[in-house]
Amino acid sequence: MLNFFKKNVALVWAKKHVQKTGEFKKNSVKNQEALLLSLVKTAQKTLFGREHDFENIQSIKEFQDRVPVSDYEDLKPYIERVKKGQANILWTETPEYFAKTSGTTSGSKYIPISKEGMPFQIAGAQSALFHYIAQKNNADFVNGKMIFLQGSPEMEEVFGIKTGRLSGIVAHHIPAYLQKNRLPSWSTNIMEDWEAKVDKIIEETEHENMTLISGIPPWLIMYFEKLTEKHGKKIKQLFPNLQLLVTGGVNYEPYRDKMNDLLGGKVDIIQTFPASEGFFAFQDDYTKEGLLLLTDHGIFYEFIPLEEYGKPAARRLTLKDVELNKDYALILSTNSGLWAYSIGDVVRFIDKDPYRILVSGRTKHFTSAFGEHVIAFEVEEAMKATVEKYTSQITEFHLAPQVNPTEGLPYHEWLIEFEREPENLELFRNELDRQLRERNTYYDDLITGNILQPLHITPLKRNAFHEYAKSQGKLGGQNKTPRLANDRKIADLLEIYKL
């Protein structure tokens, strides 16, 4: 009786929620401008606001004239003052949390999350589930066990500000109606050794009625592989009532075939786009491609055409200016005190009614040693098409330039860990090169002009990427190996795993 009540309450809540979201879908452009001016007005007495004349900003254009695009290094002096407990620096109060992330040039990054911003982090995930429930007209999963593969929920304090990984912070805010069914236990969740943690999670979940599992694709795969190796069964045989996977962090498509093989049966997928800086988008229709951009969640968005990113005169477009199927660097101003902040993600719009996006790459993850500027979306789509034509299965891959080969012209090297190799690797290689040439005209010109030779494939041993991540201390949590690089730092380390 309790399960019946819980499921039906979830259905009622979900349908009411989806009705409410219709308003922001229709008025995104208008609401975005109003949101920016509201953020500016709230922060006009902060140190950042005074330095950038927020008091006299009356339009998006005036904001863009006064506030340059920034990255973490630009905001770091302000954040250091916030870390010392000072209020009224970037936002009116000190943050409720710092989401601590690993950086390359900056060391650890401390991303502020305000009291106003935190509820939107939770609301984004809730909205994704509510849309799914309403569309499916089914909330059976709320009565089963749910697992969230995430970082440790333990936190430290930085001058009284609770600090930890975003996934660990979010763990403290999971709604009460989900808490009773949630796994793993606290003692398991706080384990830092990722492999030992996954083994313990398996112990706690292998005999449970699992209905929802959430995490980034590489770590879902690791969890599923360990389960299948232990029991000799597909995941749907172990968890026959598993209804839903919720993923985020990376594009799911390159993992789909591998995941389907491990699952061995039908499971619905919801893709999301969360980050320490905010919860940006989710798949509001689990049967269709694209993530609904959340334009009413305390974040004002700007979009810089990728080919202009980093240039002095780069255009900063708003929603009304974007074009479909073009790549844009994502720029944020938030109710946690980030201003014209470049998050490093690249998106492309596939719909404008409502606004739906794909995450197509990272501004720092590309290959352009020869001016081709190949991005993640292009290589992932090329790989997907090639795998479909020449039946095979990919565990993971990394693309890097080989500028000074021992002989012949330079080339792109693809280091690939195959779960199942194609019957003819040479045909596979030629098709992959052709697919990439179709998607990137600059790369095609370099091949045609005999500047580059066609790509090379270096097959890697099983578990190569797992062992690489482990060797770099980047196993688990939200860590993932970049699929592209403009140098050979990662490629040279992966070479030791070649077959």
| Domain end call among 363, 380, 414 | 363
Choose one of 304, 332, 363: the last residue of a domain: 363
**Same structural domain, 305 and 449:** no
CATH number at residue 469: 3.30.300
User: Does 291 score more than 90 pLDDT?
Assistant: yes
Report the pLDDT value the prediction gives residue 1, as an integer from 0 to 100: 43
What pLDDT does residue 361 have? 80
Query: What is the rounded average pLDDT of the residues 131-138?
Result: 91
- Using only C-alpha atoms, the chain has a radius of gyration, in whole angstroms, of 23
Q: Tell me the pLDDT band of 177, cut-offs 50, 70 and 90.
A: low
**151 & 229 share domain:** yes
Nearest alpha-carbon partner for 397 in 199, 251, 196, 215: 251
Pair 370, 249 in one domain: no
3-state helix/strand/coil string of 218-255:
HHHHHHHHHHHHHHCCCHHHHCCCCCEEEECCCCCHHH
- Name the more confident of 17 and 394: 394
Does residue 197 contact residue 205 with C-beta atoms inside 8 Å? no
pLDDT of residue 479: 65
Q: Are residues 391 and 338 in the same domain?
A: no
Question: In this structure, are 198 and 238 located in the same domain?
Answer: yes
Q: What is the structure's pLDDT at 103?
A: 53
Q: Please give the pLDDT value at position 104.
A: 45
Verify that 302 and 377 share a domain, yes or no.
no
Query: Which CATH number characterizes residue 58's domain?
Result: 3.40.50.12780
pLDDT tens-digit profile of 40-66? 999 999 999 999 999 999 999 999 999
Distance, CA of 321 to CA of 295 (rounded, Å):
15
Q: Which of 289, 295, 340, 269 is nearest to 70 (CA)?
A: 340
Give the range of the structural domain holding residue 388, as residue numbers without chain letter: 366-497
Residues 20 and 93 in one domain: yes
Same domain, 27 and 175: yes
Both tokens of 175, joined, read: 């709604």
Q: What is the mean pLDDT of the chain?
A: 89
Task: Using the predicted structure, report yes or no on whether residue 355 has a pLDDT greater than 90.
Answer: yes
Give this prediction's pTM: 0.81
Residue 453 confidence (pLDDT) above 90: yes
- In angstroms, the Cα distances linking 67 to 61, 80, 363 are 10, 20, 20
Does one domain contain both 370 and 292? Answer: no
Considering the domain architecture, whether residues 198 and 264 belong to the same structural domain is answered as yes
> Which tens digits make up the pLDDT trace of 270-283?
999 999 999 999 99
Instruction: Tell me how many domains the chain contains.
Output: 2
Same-domain check for residues 81 and 197: yes
Interstrand relation of 278-282 and 341-352 (parallel, antiparallel or unpaired): unpaired
Residues 399 and 279 in one domain: no
Q: Which of 363, 387, 408 is the last residue of a domain?
A: 363
